[in-house]
Each structure stands twice: as C-alpha cells, then as structure tokens.
Amino acid sequence: HSERTLVLVKPDGVQRQLVGQILARLEAANLSITALELRYPEQRHVEQHYQEHQDKPFFGPLVEYLTDSPVIAAVLAGEDAIHTTRRIIGDTDPANADSETIRGELGVDSMDQADDEGRALRNLIHASADPEDAGREIPLWFPDHEPAE
C-alpha cells in the first residue's frame, strides 16, 4: 500500500555533496518526493526528532551532529515507502551495511570509530523506522504537509 516516510540527508551527506545521488537512488526505487527542503534545524527540534534516543550515551553528540550544518529534509511517498527506504539505506553502521545500499556504498564511518571517539555515527541519512515514527516525524518537519489520503 502507498505510504509516506521522512528522510533526512544528514550534514555529512550534504557536505560531501551526495544529496543528488542519495535522492536519485530513492527515486529509482519508484518513490516520489512530496516535500523537500534544506534546513538548519534548532537543537530543540532535533531533540524532538530523536526523542527515543534521549537516554543513550550518544544523544548529546547526535544532536550536535544534526545541528552542526544544514540537512536536507524530505518526504518520500510510494508503495511500501517506509520499508523500501530502510532497505535501500542499509544497516545503521556503514561498516556492516550491504555494499549495494546507500550507507554501504557511500558511507565512510563506522560505529566502532564513532564510539571510540565519543561522537555520533555519521551515516549519511535517516529514514523513519515504522508507520508510527513516520506519523510523528513528517508533521514535525513539515507541519503543512497534506495528510496521506
């Protein structure tokens, strides 16, 4: 069934000029962009976005990472959009992600390295994990986005 998901190209993806490649891969999977904006999110906004991680040791560094330089926020729509997007993105840790996924092919960081250095894992992209997350994240980033029919 048709659904929507929230995608962020994180600061490392924007800085490394991978926005076009990342969005092209999602569009190639028959997903359509229904909202897209370059954003400089406030700390409070990122804290809300990642509220489920607020008790994790990497929460502070994660908020710093996402507020350090601009991100691309987008809503992608299509058949099975949430699962399809997660599959194309690959494992959270680029070092473990399949080589044909976005994080596997384009990611250069690893969880071990990030944890060693006490900073957030730079894994290029975020996508909603499930319908509940998508339902919370889409209005957080795009309050005027039309609700799914």
Site residues, ligand CMP (CB under 6 A): 53, 58, 62, 92, 111, 114-115, 120-121, 123, 126
In the bound state with ligand CMP, the residue whose beta carbon lies nearer, of 8 and 35, is 8
Number of helices (H), then strands (E), in the chain? 8, 4
Question: What does the alpha-carbon distance between residue 4 and residue 8 come to, in Å, rounded to a whole number?
Answer: 13
Q: How far is CA 142 from CA 36, 74, 107, 109, 127, in A?
A: 9, 9, 27, 29, 15
Residue 86 annotated in ligand binding:
yes
DSSP state of 86: H
Residue 59 annotated in ligand binding:
no
Decide if 126 is catalytic.
yes
Active site residue: 1, 53, 126, 145, which one? 126
Residue 101 annotated in ligand binding:
no
| Residue 141 beta carbon to ligand CMP: minimum distance, rounded to whole angstroms | 13
In the bound state with ligand CMP, the residue whose beta carbon lies nearer, of 116 and 144, is 116
Instruction: Give the helix/strand (H/E) hosting 34.
Output: strand 32-39
Residues with catalytic roles: 126
Task: Give the residue numbers of the binding site for ATP.
Answer: 10, 58, 86, 92, 103, 123
